Amino acid sequence: MINRKLRWAAPAIAALLLASCGAQPPAAPAAAEGGPLQQVGEGEGQLSIVAWAGYIERGETDPNYDWVTKFEQDTSCKVSVKTAATSDEMVALMNEGGFDLVTASGDASLRLVSGKTVQEINTALIPSWNSVDPRLQSAEWHTVDGKHYGVPYQWGSNVLMYNTQTFPEAPQSWEVVFKEMTLPDGQSNKGRVQAFDGPIYIADAALFLKYHNPALGIKDPYHLTRDQFNAALDLLRGQRVIVGRYWHDAFVQIEDFKNEGVVASSSWPFQVNLLKTDSAPIASTIPVEGATGWADTTMMHANAPNPNCAYKWLEWSLNPKLQGDLAAWFGSVPSVLAACEGNELLGPEGCKTNGLDNFDKIAFWKTPTSDCGDGTKECVPYHEWVTNYIAVIGGR
């Protein structure tokens, strides 16, 4: 299911450039031909999903985590999964077509809506819709002009993952991955830290500057004026000197922490959990500057070849057992709060441990546009984030 091979730079850059083309301010598209589905019929026998690694598990990695097998048994919809490493790759894959669903983060979802790549969802066909956390039901990253273009799946924060042998105490600042320094083990961090291989990582730099350089006036790390944007790029250019790898494959990052001497990086709770399960000396933290994060939505392609199976999955995705198991596996927070109670894998404190109380502290991913959110049009749009971040990674 999961591609563990390191992807080469050229295809990744091509995907970034292709995906950025849709980064325009969202406007409600026309519904799929004939409007959203009005009745769920017999399944087509198959379902194709573009997803983050670890999001659609059938027990292959760990037999305790399987929320695909029973769905297939109950519906006769055979699930296939294409794992994507970045939001830009997800947008590119969905633009190519042939998929039914995608687990899109906020920096992809509105691009998919504005590009008319996904269709409005008829929530009346999803009996469990009212069980969704009210904070997510009409969230701005999947709701346009009162229409829902997806079903909330999971949410969480981008954490600072670190090696506990190098850091006996949790790092207090993201500075350990942004600036060259001597770490607590007496060695330099040069070549021993990583950064995320995606233009949205510019927001992490902006969040760092928001805390350490208030004179810049950054209010929202996704709404950056030209001066604020340039300051973030300058920080990232300095970081380039110490970064050993820009990661986009979760499993490659896991191997780097195990075998390549990497000791600190932005990461997802997914990698942290897998490394801990393997008894690696790994922990994670959210430093004083705060963190960016993701709220993921299952969205349906405008031309989904298997719409009935897709709607069956949308309903299935909200059952508390799946939601709780996924939260335990990925280190995320369920979109259905009932999943926080009585789940054996998640445990009684699992949702709190995964950040349930941090919702208002997270700067959730969203697609940057020229609209600054205050009525002005002076902010840097996403396509410039793409080209400039590629230049940073290339050392320019």
Contact present, 185 and 166 (Cβ < 8 Å): yes
Q: Give the three-state DSSP class for 194.
A: strand
pLDDT of residue 34: 56
- Quote the tokens at residue 356: 């349930």
Q: Is the pLDDT of residue 330 over 50?
A: yes
The DSSP bridge pattern shows strands 333-334 and 143-144 to be: unpaired
Hey, which residues does 196 pair with through a beta bridge? 247
Digit-coded pLDDT (tens) for 282-312:
999 999 999 999 999 999 999 999 999 999 9
Q: Residue 377: how many CB atoms within 10 A of its CB?
A: 10
Q: Is the pLDDT of residue 6 over 90?
A: no
The DSSP bridge pattern shows strands 46-52 and 78-84 to be: parallel
Local confidence band at 143 (pLDDT 50, 70, 90 cut-offs): very high
pLDDT of residue 103: 98
Digit-coded pLDDT (tens) for 217-269:
999 999 999 999 999 999 999 999 999 999 999 999 999 999 999 999 999 98
pLDDT of residue 3: 31
- Quote the tokens at residue 226: 């030209």
In the 8-state DSSP scheme, what is residue 182? B
With vertex at residue 385, the alpha carbon angle to CA 380 and CA 386, rounded to the nearest 5 degrees, is: 145
Local confidence band at 358 (pLDDT 50, 70, 90 cut-offs): confident
Selection from 42, 89, 116, 60 nearest residue 312 by Cα:
42
Using a pLDDT cut of 70, give the percent of the chain over it. Answer: 91
With vertex at residue 23, the alpha carbon angle to CA 22 and CA 24, rounded to the nearest 5 degrees, is: 100
Local confidence band at 85 (pLDDT 50, 70, 90 cut-offs): confident
The residue-averaged pLDDT of 3-8 equals 30
CA distance 104 to 88: 10
CA distance 361 to 109: 21
Contact present, 363 and 141 (Cβ < 8 Å): no
Distance of CA 122 to CAs 31, 32, 214, 312, Å? 11, 12, 44, 12
With vertex at residue 271, the alpha carbon angle to CA 177 and CA 206, rounded to the nearest 5 degrees, is: 35
Q: Is the pLDDT of residue 391 over 50?
A: yes
pLDDT of residue 177: 98
In the 8-state DSSP scheme, what is residue 305? S
- The three state secondary structure string of 306-358 is CHHHHHHHHHHCCCHHHHHHHHHHHCCEECEHHHHCCCCCCCCCHHHHCCHHH
Local confidence band at 35 (pLDDT 50, 70, 90 cut-offs): confident
Q: Give the three-state DSSP class for 236.
A: helix
Contact present, 99 and 50 (Cβ < 8 Å): yes
Q: Domains (ranges, CATH) in the chain? A: 9-155+294-359 (3.40.190.10), 157-292+369-393 (3.40.190.10)
How deeply is 221 buried, as exposed, middle or buried, from its count of CB atoms within 10 A (0-12, 13-18, 19+)?
buried
Please list the alpha-helical segments (H only) found in the chain: 9-20, 69-75, 87-96, 106-114, 134-137, 175-178, 202-212, 226-240, 250-259, 269-277, 307-316, 320-330, 350-353, 382-393
Q: Answer positive or negative: Cα dihedral of 381, 383, 384, 386.
A: positive
Selection from 193, 199, 167 nearest residue 180 by Cα:
193
pTM higher than 0.85: no
CA distance 22 to 383: 9
The DSSP bridge pattern shows strands 291-300 and 362-364 to be: parallel
